A and B are shown apart, each in its own frame.
Chain A
Amino acid sequence: MPNLLLTTRCVRSCPYCFARREIEASSSADSVSWEDLIFLADFLEASGDRHISLLGGEPTLHRDFVDFVLYLHERGFSITVFTSGVLSNACLCDLERYLRAVPPGPLSFVCNLNDPEQISAPPGETERVHEFLSVMGPWVSPGFNIHRPDFRLEFIIELVARYGLMRQLRLGIAHPVPGNPGTHVSPGMVRQAIDRLCSYRALFERFRIKPGLDCGFPLCQFSDEQLGWFHRLTGEALRFYCCPAIDIAPDMSVYSCFPLSRFHRRSIYEFDSMREVLDFYHHKNDAIRAELAGIFEECDGCIHREEGVCAGGGACHLLCRLTDEAPVRLPEIQRGLSDTRLP
């Protein structure tokens, strides 16, 4: 399931944004063309993949956003849109008129929500998010990026209840970008963040909201009780993974994920299938992990990491360490690092 960046323009300036370097390096005119969208849909279809995520920047800023979604739906793709929820009135009208006709399931939104008390927003932005949620609520899962250990989730739970959002909270950790770490959760802060998350246990249960963990959470930072609670609440196998997300930029360049956007960046036209793309980036990520097992010293020799239950944290953390350490050992890694364009 690749992520297609429809445009690099964004309406927000989140302190933890790991796409910032991508956005700053892009021209404001960068946006996906119809030809490239059709190419990509063909590419995915030929690969047997029928799901695509649309990202930005803010994907709804693309002038053909609604038409792109309808086109992909018409071709039988299921679509997930990652949005800030900050939409113009015109765009919101289009969503109400055209996209509400597509049932939730084939189309869903993940609305990345910022705590208005912890991240200041321009006047009117919060109201705009609420308008979006009031229109598309049943299609929307809330998303939240943990970027400090004292985060709050009450406001999200209130939004879920008020606007009838999907009761699945997508939780991500703010990751560092090699060469430009920015605001992120360091390995030493992860346990605090998990404890904080689990302190919301009663609210999650009361409102029947399932927390879903995004990539980079290390297994060892959860207590057995916390793991048991997660498992009972979600009913799903927990994954402590870090694998290539496969992001495709408006210029059709491809990379493993935002934080690794300068690491072995290629063009999608160099590959014949998504399998090839995934294999390529799995191989590159494995090369990083051959150098450093995980984000903690204990990852080296950890049975859970060796058994593949836990990835040992995000590869972006490892690459950050490798960029700060000299000498770098593997020539393969060196070649990769030469593409990171450190400051």
Chain B
Amino acid sequence: MVFPILVFRDSQKVLDRLHGHRVVVRVDDPENIVDAASRVQRTGNQLSCVICDSVRPLSAITPAESWAGIPVALFVPEVGRLRDLTATIHRTRDLDVHVYLPAARPENLVSLRILASLNVPSCATFGAEPPDWEALADLMTYALLGPIPHVPIDPFEYIADHYAPDRWTQWDAVTFSDPRRYLHLDAESRVALSHDDLLAGAFIADDLGALDDIERHPAFVERAGRWRRFFAECTQCSCCPGWRVCQGMFVHTVERAPGCSAFFTELMDVVEQHNAKRRQTRQPNRWRP
């Protein structure tokens, strides 16, 4: 296994302790994206991308020309009004920007479709609140079976790219949550398996030095085998036909929003159709997480 990419909040202190690593730096303000990328280059590490966790809508963010060459994962709460976006959307489209929107907000499901049709790559993210599963299924169908080529809407495109009918499809990596691909560091360089773990203070090591053989680390092994719990406890998820893709990701919301099972079952069907007639016009060299 290739050593995971390190994700941490933009910090000279953390960077000074690293060399030759592939890293993702987080910033809150889009104004800091270029500085954060430059810092990584100066310390001899390799920038994978910059995550920007903005509280502003996309329409209130003006991408700078200096972002050119910097892959940016732009997490925003909403897109805002299209009329305020049109002045800058051509630049967003020309840069390596991937827009992340929370799927729980109904208007964002429409926005994801708008962005894709305007050739801005995007991704739906999932949190504590469940999405409107039927609307999400419509979006997923549009993303994978739309009548004309458009840029990807993740995680659907990511799932389609990695889908195999005879095994599980893990797609945490699209939101930087797969510990096999991303480890998260805090300001003291303590290591967590996910951003949520980091925020909860659930660290697996005090520094990277303790992680020479990450695949054998007990916490990593425990996380990799966490799926067994669903079967040991015989939850709804363990007998769900959508398990091969969702793997219990929505076990906390299935009681109040049980549409996830139908959604993931349909997703697998649509992915198989999509992969059977995969478009030949996909943009080849675009950065994707």
Q: Which residues of A contact B (CB under 8 A)?
A: 34-35, 38, 41-43, 45-46, 66-67, 70-71, 73-75, 94, 98
Name A43's closest neighbour in chain B (CB-CB). Answer: B147
B257: interface (CB < 8 Å)? no
B82 near A70 (CB under 8 angstroms)?
yes
Least distance between B139 CB and chain A CB atoms (Å): 9
Contact (A35, B117) CB under 8 Å given A42-B148, A94-B83: no
B110 near A35 (CB under 8 angstroms)?
yes
Contact (A71, B148) CB under 8 Å given A35-B138, A66-B83: no
Please report the C-alpha to C-alpha distance between residue A46 and residue B146 in the assembled complex, in whole angstroms.
10
Contact (A38, B86) CB under 8 Å given A43-B147, A45-B148, A46-B147: no
B146 near A42 (CB under 8 angstroms)?
yes
A35, A45, A74, A98: the one contacting B118 at CB < 8 Å is A74
Name A67's closest neighbour in chain B (CB-CB). Answer: B82
Q: Which residues of A contact B148 (CB under 8 A)?
A: 42, 45-46
Please report the C-alpha to C-alpha distance between residue A293 and residue B118 in the assembled complex, in whole angstroms.
47
Task: Give 1 or 0 for each of B100-142: 1 = CB within 8 Å of chain A CB.
Answer: 0000000000100110011000000000000000000010001
Please report the C-alpha to C-alpha distance between residue A66 and residue B148 in the assembled complex, in whole angstroms.
24
Q: Which residues of A contact B217 (CB under 8 A)?
A: none
Please report the C-alpha to C-alpha distance between residue A34 and residue B114 in the assembled complex, in whole angstroms.
8
Contact (A74, B86) CB under 8 Å given A34-B113, A35-B113, A38-B113: yes
Q: Which residues of B contact A75 (CB under 8 A)?
A: 117-118
Q: Which residues of B contact A (CB under 8 A)?
A: 81-83, 86, 89, 110, 113-114, 117-118, 138, 142, 146-148
A71 near B114 (CB under 8 angstroms)?
yes
Please report the C-alpha to C-alpha distance between residue A42 and residue B113 in the assembled complex, in whole angstroms.
12
Q: Which residues of A contact B110 (CB under 8 A)?
A: 34-35
A41 near B86 (CB under 8 angstroms)?
no
Q: Which residues of B contact A46 (CB under 8 A)?
A: 147-148
B interface SS class: helix
Please report the C-alpha to C-alpha distance between residue A43 and residue B117 in the assembled complex, in whole angstroms.
12
Interface-centre pick from B81, B83, B86 (highest chain A CB count, 10 A): B83
B83 near A98 (CB under 8 angstroms)?
yes
21 contacts between A and B (CB under 8 A): A34-B110, A34-B113, A34-B114, A35-B113, A35-B138, A38-B113, A38-B114, A38-B142, A42-B117, A42-B147, A42-B148, A43-B147, A45-B148, A46-B147, A70-B82, A70-B83, A71-B82, A71-B114, A71-B118, A73-B86, A98-B86
Please report the C-alpha to C-alpha distance between residue A43 and residue B89 in the assembled complex, in whole angstroms.
23
B146 near A74 (CB under 8 angstroms)?
no
Please report the C-alpha to C-alpha distance between residue A66 and residue B114 in the assembled complex, in whole angstroms.
15
Least distance between B203 CB and chain A CB atoms (Å): 43
Least distance between A280 CB and chain B CB atoms (Å): 18
Q: Which 9 A-B residue pairings sit nearest by Cβ, starting from the closest?
A: A67-B82, A34-B110, A46-B147, A42-B147, A98-B83, A70-B86, A42-B148, A46-B148, A45-B148
B83 near A67 (CB under 8 angstroms)?
yes
Q: Which residues of A contact B142 (CB under 8 A)?
A: 35, 38
Least distance between B131 CB and chain A CB atoms (Å): 15
A38 near B82 (CB under 8 angstroms)?
no
Name B90's closest neighbour in chain A (CB-CB). Answer: A74
Q: Which residues of A contact B146 (CB under 8 A)?
A: 42
Q: Which residues of A contact B113 (CB under 8 A)?
A: 34-35, 38
Q: Which residues of A contact B86 (CB under 8 A)?
A: 70, 73-74, 98
Knowing that A38-B142, A42-B148 touch, tell me 20 more A-B residue pairs with CB under 8 angstroms. Answer: A34-B110, A35-B113, A38-B113, A38-B114, A38-B117, A41-B117, A42-B146, A43-B147, A46-B148, A67-B82, A70-B82, A70-B86, A71-B82, A71-B114, A71-B118, A73-B86, A74-B89, A74-B118, A75-B117, A98-B86
Interface-centre pick from B86, B118, B142 (highest chain A CB count, 10 A): B86
Least distance between B177 CB and chain A CB atoms (Å): 29
Please report the C-alpha to C-alpha distance between residue A154 and residue B15 in the assembled complex, in whole angstroms.
76
Please report the C-alpha to C-alpha distance between residue A248 and residue B178 in the assembled complex, in whole angstroms.
46
Please report the C-alpha to C-alpha distance between residue A43 and residue B147 in the assembled complex, in whole angstroms.
7
Name B138's closest neighbour in chain A (CB-CB). Answer: A35
Please report the C-alpha to C-alpha distance between residue A297 and residue B148 in the assembled complex, in whole angstroms.
48
Least distance between A235 CB and chain B CB atoms (Å): 36
Q: Which residues of B contact A66 (CB under 8 A)?
A: 83
Please report the C-alpha to C-alpha distance between residue A113 and residue B114 in the assembled complex, in whole angstroms.
34
Q: Which residues of A contact B118 (CB under 8 A)?
A: 71, 74-75
Please report the C-alpha to C-alpha distance between residue A38 and residue B81 in the assembled complex, in whole angstroms.
16
Name B82's closest neighbour in chain A (CB-CB). Answer: A67
Least distance between A138 CB and chain B CB atoms (Å): 20
Please report the C-alpha to C-alpha distance between residue A308 and residue B146 in the assembled complex, in whole angstroms.
39
B81 near A67 (CB under 8 angstroms)?
yes
Name A99's closest neighbour in chain B (CB-CB). Answer: B83
Q: Which residues of B contact A38 (CB under 8 A)?
A: 113-114, 117, 142
Q: Which residues of B contact A71 (CB under 8 A)?
A: 82, 114, 118
Please report the C-alpha to C-alpha distance between residue A1 and residue B7 in the assembled complex, in whole angstroms.
51
